[in-house]
Amino acid sequence: MIKLLRVDHRLLHGQVAVSWFNSLDVNTILIANDAVAQDDFRKSAIRLAKPENAKLVMKSISDSVAAINSGVTDKYKMLVVVESVDDADRLIRGSKEKIAALNVGGTKPREGTINYSKAVNLTSEEAEKLAALEHDGVNVYLQQVPNETAEKFSKK
């Protein structure tokens, strides 16, 4: 069962590993990202941030969708972390399991982005994807850490 789907360009780091993992009462972290799935060095670095009591799985987006759709993940309480809005959109749209909410926690500033919060910077294409997810019934919100107030996404 997916307890939280989060966009964070840093993927797994202290904030996610400690704050979100503990506040959600999850036992598994799924890093869903195509580049990480093929990069042993990045996998090793990510493993260093894993909480001691967590199961950590790193898969491509398509393999993550397949695992979720097959039911093999049903026995886990999962925090799913993706690197980008595009990854989140692909995961949500590909999953049979209804993903009701998307936490946008961190996207780095890039050329052509608009600042939405202190840690979220989106291109117009990313904002359109989030608006489309909202339109389709997904609660999209901005929240960096659990003790911050969640801010409903609103396209600028």
Q: How far apart are CA 26 and CA 79, in angstroms?
A: 7
User: What pLDDT, on a 0 to 100 scale, did the predictor assign at position 97?
Assistant: 85
End-to-end Cα separation, the chain, in angstroms: 32
Q: Lowest-confidence range among 12-16, 32-36, 80-84?
A: 12-16
Model pLDDT for residues 16-32, shown as the tens digit of each residue? 788 999 999 999 999 99
User: What pLDDT, on a 0 to 100 scale, did the predictor assign at position 62?
Assistant: 98
Structural domain span for residue 16: 2-152
Model pLDDT for residues 50-85, shown as the tens digit of each residue? 998 999 999 999 999 999 999 999 999 999 999 999
Residue-wise over 25-39: b if at least 16 C-beta within 10 A, else e?
A: ebbbbbbbbbebbee
pTM of the model: 0.95
- How many CA atoms lie less than 13 Å away from 66 in the CB half-sphere? 5
Q: How far apart are CA 8 and CA 84, in angstroms?
A: 7
Number of domains in the chain: 1
Q: Which residue bears the tokens 């749209």?
A: 93
User: Could you tell me the CATH number of the domain that includes residue 77?
Assistant: 3.40.35.10
- How many CA atoms lie less than 13 Å away from 51 in the CB half-sphere? 20
Q: How far apart are CA 89 and CA 155, in angstroms?
A: 16
Percent of the chain residues topping a pLDDT of 70 = 100
Backbone angles phi, psi at 109, to 5 degrees: -65, 135
